[in-house]
Amino acid sequence: MRMMITCTVNGEERTVLADTRDTLLGFLRERLGFTGTKEGCGNGNCGTCTVLMDGAAVNACLVLAQEASESEIVTIEGIADGDKLHPIQEALVAHGGTQCGFCTPGIVISAKALLDSNPDPSEAEIRHAVAGNLCRCTGYGKIVEAIAAAAAQRR
Amino acid sequence: MQDFEYHRPKSAAAAVEALCSGEARVLAGGTDLIPQLREGRRLARHLVDLKRIPELTAIVALPGGAISIGAAATLTSIAQHPSIAAHYPSIAQSARLVGSLQVQNRASLGGNICNAAPSADAVPPLICHEARATIAGRSGQREMAVGELFRGPGRTLLEADELLTAIILPPPPTRSAARYLRFTPRREMDIAIAGAGVWLSLDTRGSVAAARIVLASVGPTPMRAHAAEAALLGEQPSKALLIEAGRIAAGESQPISDTRGSADYRRELVSVLTKRALSDCCVQLKAEGAIA
């Protein structure tokens, strides 16, 4: 079935025709073209599709697009300020906290959700915050360092 | 994925009505249901979304000191709730064991119960606290102990047109403590090979007045270890007694061998986790002055 869905994505209200079965992930990627959000496992295990939904980090593959109707979504495309990277993104670049880059959008969103609610996280809290984001390249050392540095810079 | 109709009712009564549409399923967090639908492991013609029903997502204090948790309340909202963290810390902590933060931000306590996984981490602490389930159906409302809801893996006593609406936590008595421990090979994002929830209540002399032990992942449903509980009654909680209770609980458990662990390994885990959880309760009770 086809139906209209209205939600706010990266600060802009969007009304788009969608399929009743669309996940939020498919809706963002295929209907709206926000392909920065990646599909990894499609089952809520890997966290590459993490987006903010009304401020909370969620796996977009585990949300129906219809459930997001009237919600506020932030994807990786909504994190930088124009050409200026977000401090979390800058820190990931500076610390080499990215390799193939596939998990990076999800990591950035999880880190943002953490720092928005906890500006001074411990290392354990940082590790817990990205535990649902699998990275198979770098290991987590540099990612954790980068998030800690971003937190220090924002304070 | 088979096509379905999506319902977003405004009240529990309207949700029950929508559940009577035939081949309807409750959509709470969706963290299990959506992959199941996509992979064709479950079929549904109607999905009834509970998350916009205030009475089903609220956590409220009841007169007399009990707390009511709406069945669709997220695990994150439970973990962060000040009264739950203060009076039912084992429940707040167990909510943080399910999946990732992303999952906890969506998944509901009612979903963790109704999926009826023997490994459900949020369930043993609820049974330890004698939580009650409020169930709404077409013909009215009924209530039963959370511990009596389960029939087998993935199966509960709920009828297809019934809705779990709330979980009621009775006020914990003074001189009582609860703890849930599980074992996973990985620190995060894993399913318990075995889990043990325990609850201890002491009398004024520091002897065990009541005990509840609930085991996860070692039977077709979350299960009580009644003999181990009985062994604790009336006794001072010495180290030897706690070890003995763990040993008895291991004997009562009914684990199977599967890819996550052998039955023997699971029994050993039950023994260790039960003893440790009891010992943690004693540390708490000592800090509160209930044990000399």
Domain with CATH 3.30.465.10 in chain B: 56-169
What is the per-residue pLDDT for B189? 85
Q: Which two structure tokens, joined as six digits, stand for A124?
A: 């354990």
- Looking at chain B, the number of H-run helices and the number of E-run strands are 12, 14
**Does the distance separating the beta carbons of A64 and B47 come in below 8 Å?**
yes
> Both tokens of residue B9?
């009712």
pLDDT at B22 over 90: no
Q: Write the pLDDT tens digit of every residue in B220-264.
A: 999 999 999 999 999 999 999 999 999 999 999 999 999 999 999
The CATH code of domain B56-169 reads 3.30.465.10
Q: What is the mean pLDDT of residues B69-88?
A: 98
Residues 6+ apart with CB under 8 A from A32: A9, A14, A16
**C-beta separation of B88 from B129 below 8 A:** yes
- Please give the distance of CA A148 from its chain centroid, rounded to a whole number: 18
The pLDDT value recorded for residue A21 is 95
Name the 3-class secondary structure at A155. Answer: coil
DSSP-derived pairing of the beta strands B155-156 and B150-152: antiparallel
Q: Are strands B46-49 and B5-7 parallel, antiparallel or unpaired?
A: parallel
Residue type, A9: V
Counting one residue from chain A and one from chain B, the pairs whose CB atoms sit within 8 A come to 81
Q: What percent of chain B has pLDDT over 70?
A: 100
From chain B, the residues in CB contact with A53 under 8 A are 105
Angle between helices A141-154 and A104-117 (to 10 degrees): 40
Q: Where exactly does CATH 3.30.390.50 map onto chain B? A: 176-287
Terminal alpha carbon distance of chain A: 48
Please identify among residues 46-75 of chain A the ones whose CB lies closer than 8 Å to any CB of chain B: 47, 50, 53, 56-59, 61-64, 66-67
Kindly report, residue by residue over B125-179, the tens digit of the pLDDT.
999 999 999 999 998 999 999 999 999 999 999 998 999 999 999 999 999 999 9
3-state secondary structure of A102: coil
All structural domains of chain A: 2-78 (3.10.20.30), 87-154 (1.10.150.120)
pTM over 0.90: yes
What's CA B106's distance to the chain center, in Å? 17
What is the DSSP secondary structure assignment for residue A27, as one 8-state letter? Answer: I
Tell me what pLDDT residue B188 has.
83
What is the phi-psi region of residue B265: left when phi exceeds 0, alpha when psi lies from -120 to 50, beta otherwise? alpha
Res B281: pLDDT: 98
> How long, in residues, is chain A?
155
pLDDT at B53: 98
Average pLDDT over residues B198-212: 97
Which chain A residue is nearest to residue B52, measuring alpha carbons? A67
For B67-77, letters b (16+ CB in 10 Å) and e give: bbbbbbbbbbb
pLDDT > 80? residue B292: no
Phi/psi at B106 (5° precision): -115, -45
- Please give the CATH architecture assigned to the domain spanning B176-287: 2-Layer Sandwich (3.30)
Q: B133 is written with which tokens?
A: 């389930």
B292 shares contact with chain A (CB less than 8 Å): no
Q: Which residues from chain A sit within 8 angstroms of residue B8, using beta carbons?
A: 66
Chain B residue numbers with beta carbons less than 8 Å from the beta carbon of A47 are: 100, 102
CB contact set of B280 (below 8 Å; sequence gap of 6+): B177, B179, B181
Q: What is the pLDDT at residue B291?
A: 83
**Do the interacting molecules here have an ipTM over 0.90?**
yes
Q: What share of chain A is helix, strand, coil (3-state, %, to 5)?
A: 40, 20, 40
How far, in Å, CA of A67 to CA of A23, rounded? 9
Nearest C-alpha neighbor of B66 from the set B124, B117, B132 = B132
- Alpha-carbon span B122 to B80, nearest angstrom: 14
Chain B interface mutation, best of A7, A58, A130, highest count of B Cβ atoms under 10 Å? A58
Location of structure tokens 């937190």: A151
pLDDT for the residue numbered A100: 95
Q: How far apart are CA A16 and CA A7, in angstroms?
A: 9
Residues of chain A below pLDDT 70: none
Residue of A20, A44, A132 with shortest CB distance to B35: A44
Q: How confident is the model at residue B54 (pLDDT cuts 50, 70, 90)?
A: very high
pLDDT-derived band of residue B88, with 50, 70 and 90 as boundaries?
Answer: very high
Give the chain B residue whose CA is nearest to the CA of A47.
Answer: B102
What is the torsional sign of CA A114, A118, A123, A125? Answer: negative
